[in-house]
Amino acid sequence: MEHTVFPKDLILSFDLFHRAGNKNGFLCRDFLLFGKKNIMKNAIYFYNNFKTNHKYLSWLDRKDQEQMDWAFDYLQEKELLINTPTFLPNNTKECYAQVCASLDALDLHSDLKSKLIDIQTTKAKNTDKPDQTSEQGIHSQEEQLIARNEEFDQASKTNWQNPKAFATLVSKVNKDSDAKRELIQRMRTAWNQKVFRDKKIVKPEKKLKLPHGYEKKLNVIAEAYGENMVIYLKALIDKEYNEIKSKK
């Protein structure tokens, strides 16, 4: 089955698709082409509604294996990573796709409020003065979002077979993405903090300033011994230093 929007490995998942646990038992029509085309048609619609604005993902580098591994672990630890049995990423590009898909679906997590509170609690432990104003605003947004998501969880059980009702429900949930943006921002901050912690501080070497003309003389002497000027000067200083120390 060919398609111009989704990658080949995802198409394979659709090709192998059938609705497991159907109350009417196994149905051959679940494998029919028209059914899978209809699923793809709906998937494109929902993808366009749920995909995260690129500006919130610009800090992610699909070629950075270390960052992708970190993002994968970060989302998995908070149980926000989308795991599907038919999609196993085997390179950085595919891992990036899985991370982005998980971020796209953040607003559908009915427990997103608790996830944000857990992160805020951890952040507060690492700071002397947590931002209470920001926290109160986030909690208000979370409460609104969690109410809609709980409604989504309940209503989706009865409305998923009705495309129009389900589309309306999804649109309602996706209107407010403040909590989603907040979680992505916290994730980005956590990554920046990791990069800062891992960065080795290299002390710049002080350049020795010699009186006018002496640097040239030192260079001539070093070349005569077949040495670099700095290496020769260090060796000369070490020699004199050791002789003085040995006489004491």
Q: What is the pLDDT of residues 133-155, one digit of tens each?
A: 444 544 555 455 555 555 555 55
Quick one: 130 and 179 in the same domain? yes
- Is 175 found in the same domain as 237? no
**Local structure of 66: helix, strand or coil:** helix
Name the token pair of 30.
């679940």
User: From CA 245, how far away is CA 247, in angstroms rounded?
Assistant: 6
134 and 182 share one domain: yes
Is the pLDDT assigned to residue 6 strictly greater than 50?
yes
Give residue 114's domain range. Answer: 109-202
235 and 174 in a common domain: no
Question: What's the whole-number mean pLDDT along residues 80-88?
Answer: 81
Please choose, from the candidates 97, 98, 69, the residue with its C-alpha nearest in 3D space to the C-alpha of residue 83. 98
Check whether 50 has a pLDDT greater than 90.
no
Query: Per the domain annotation, does 122 fall within a domain?
Result: yes
Q: Name the least confident of 34-48, 160-174, 214-228.
A: 160-174
Q: 95-104, 159-168, 233-242: which has the minimum mean pLDDT?
A: 159-168
Statement to judge: residues 128 and 160 lie in one domain: yes
Helices (H), ranges, 78-131: 92-104, 112-125
Supply the pTM of this predicted model. 0.51
In a domain, 59, yes or no: no
Q: In terms of Cα–Cα distance, which of 45, 245, 83 is closest to 163?
A: 45
CB 110 within 8 A of CB 153: yes
Q: Which whole number is the average pLDDT over 18-36? A: 55
Tell me if 243 is assigned to some domain: yes
33 falls within a domain:
no
Q: Are residues 197 and 153 in the same domain?
A: yes
- 105, 50 Cβ separation under 8 angstroms: yes
Q: Is residue 234 in a domain? A: yes
244 is written with which tokens? 């003085």
State whether 116 and 197 are in the same domain.
Answer: yes
Q: In this predicted structure, what is the pLDDT of residue 70?
A: 95
Residues 134 and 185 in one domain: yes
Looking at residue 188, what is its pLDDT? 93
Instruction: Among 170-174, 186-190, 214-218, name the one with the lowest average pLDDT.
Output: 170-174
Nearest to 66 by CA among 199, 242, 167: 199
Same structural domain, 218 and 198: no
Closest C-alpha to 98, from 80, 118, 115: 80
Position 123 scores a pLDDT of: 55
Count of positions (residues) in the chain:
248
Q: Tell me: pLDDT of 237 over 60.
A: yes
